[in-house]
Each structure stands twice: as structure tokens, then as C-alpha cells.
Amino acid sequence: MGRSSEESPLRRIHSEASLLGGAAYAILLQVAHPSVAQGVHDHSDFSSRPLDRLRGTLYYVYGTSLGTDEERARVQAIVRAMHRRVNGPGYRALDHDLLLWVAATLFHTWTRLYELTVGKIGEDEFPVFLREAAVFATALGLPEEEWPATPAAFDAYWDEAVGRLEVGGTALGISRRLFWPANRLLWPITHVQRFLAGGLLPPKLREDFEIPWSAARQRRFDRVVRVTRAVYPRLPHVLRSLPSRLYLWSMRRNGGWTRPRGTRRSGAYH
């Protein structure tokens, strides 16, 4: 995929700060795949260094979608090198099945959060967004023909893949460390993410991840979505795009990101 133009759906959608509200939701979807969960358990240090882990992921996401050709190539090469070391019994991070699933969770999350907080993606531009988002899988080794070519193909893949998810003990342990990190100062943020993930997850997965829910919580979630949808699109775009611009600035300040400072272990998956 060539560099996206300023008018491309990928660049426009990825500039929105509201997409960050789906961070925990995407992670839980990913680790509900047993092989992804095992890889994260064995190779990722996000529970002890969650901010470094988030920074590395957003360098990759924003560098790929909003960066220059050179920046995109650099961050993708770094992530490929990290993933080559993520291997173990029953999993390999560069397996096509895992690349497709992780990239699909990102595309699904971005689409859902954008439409909940900003507005419906147009019928004409949705296929373009789908095609552009393929880069998050193909850049890591997924053959282009294995990425769903149409929205209908993506929906069919998604429904089938979600039906095969299984939250085991490893995934549950990851979710507990995600929402109760060692640094208690982060608990207000992770508890908000837990609430948002609870509202976004299908009931079965929400129950399997032991996220408490009730009719009152559902009403509260629906109210948060309504208020956000009413207020957020009216904010100046310079404010809504601030996180993406700050992360790009940070990546460039760090010389194009050789590795998030202070990290030692590879950051498996996204």
C-alpha cells in the first residue's frame, strides 16, 4: 500500500483520540485467541511496563497510518524484528492466522469506536478504509490475498473467528494484570478501560473475562456513548487529534523509535 493521502479514511479516522477508548477492548479480543494469549503471557511485559507498552503500540499504529514512508517502514521493521522472537509451544507470532486475527481486531475496534463517537463511515469509503487497514497485517508478513477483500468478506471472517474464541486461564490472568497493574496510579485509567471494554464486549466474552455487569451498568455505558457522540464531534479537530500528533512528535524526537526506552522484552502483538 502506498502512502495514504491526506483525504484517506485511514489517516482521517486514525487521527481521532476517541479510538483510544477501545484499547482494552482490542486487547481482550486478541487474547481471547488462546495462541495470542500464550504469546503475550510468555513474551510481553505490558503488566509491569504498561506505559512503555502503550507507547510502542501507538508508535507502530500512528507511524504506519500517519507517518512518512520512511517512518512507516522503520516502525514496521522494528515490530517485525520483535515478532520473530515471539515463538513457543503451539504459537508463532508471524503465523498468518494470528496476524490476520490481531489486525482484524484493530480494524474492528477502530471502526466501532469511530462510529460510536464520531459518525457512520460512509458506504463508499468503508471499503477503502478496509483496504488501507490491511497494511497492519501485510507489513508483518500476511499475504495480501489473505486479508478480506470486501466488507462482506470481513464480516464473514469476523463472525466465524469470534465463534472460535475461548477465554482460558491464561487470557483471564492477562486481563487481571491489565486492569490491576502494579502501578496503582494507573488504576483510575484501567478501571475506565475495564468499564468501556465491558460495554463493548459480547456478553459471553464479558462474562468469561469476569467483568461485572448489570442493567444499571449498561444504562450508564449507553449514557456515556450518547453524551460522547453529542459532544466529541463538536470539539475542534486540533484537540481531537492531539494524542496522535503528540505520539508522532515523540517518535520523531526519539530518532524514529529504535525501541521504547526502558523496555527489555519484546512487545508481543498489538
DSSP 208-224: HTT----HHHHHHHHHH
Across 35-49, 89-103, 186-200, which has the greatest mean pLDDT? 186-200
207-218 tens-digit pLDDT: 999 999 999 999
> Which own/partner contact pairs does 156-163 have at CB distance under 8 Å and 24+ positions apart?
157/100, 157/104, 158/104, 158/108, 161/101, 161/104, 162/202
Give the model's pLDDT for residue 126.
97
Cell numbers linked to 243:
494524542
Q: Determine the Cα–Cα distance for residues 93 and 96; give it in Å rounded to an integer.
A: 8
Left, alpha or beta for 219 (phi > 0: left; psi -120 to 50: alpha)?
alpha
Helix axes 169-179, 34-43, angle to 10 degrees: 50
Give the model's pLDDT for residue 45.
67
Mean of the per-residue pLDDT values for the chain?
89
33-82 tens-digit pLDDT: 999 999 988 887 666 677 777 888 899 999 999 999 999 998 888 888 88
Section 217-221 average pLDDT = 98
Section 113-122 average pLDDT = 97
Instruction: Show me where the domains of the chain are located.
Output: 9-253
Give the model's pLDDT for residue 48.
64
Cell numbers linked to 225:
456513548
Contact 109, 22 (CB under 8 A): yes
Band of residue 5 on the pLDDT scale cut at 50, 70, 90:
very low
Nearest to 135 by CA among 117, 110, 160: 110
Contact 78, 259 (CB under 8 A): yes
- What letter does residue 15 receive in the DSSP assignment? T
Helix or strand holding residue 19 (H, E): none
Helix or strand holding residue 92 (H, E): strand 91-92
> Which own/partner contact pairs does 151-156 have at CB distance under 8 Å and 24+ positions apart?
151/126, 151/127, 154/104, 154/107, 154/130
Cell numbers linked to 229:
457522540
Band of residue 224 on the pLDDT scale cut at 50, 70, 90:
very high
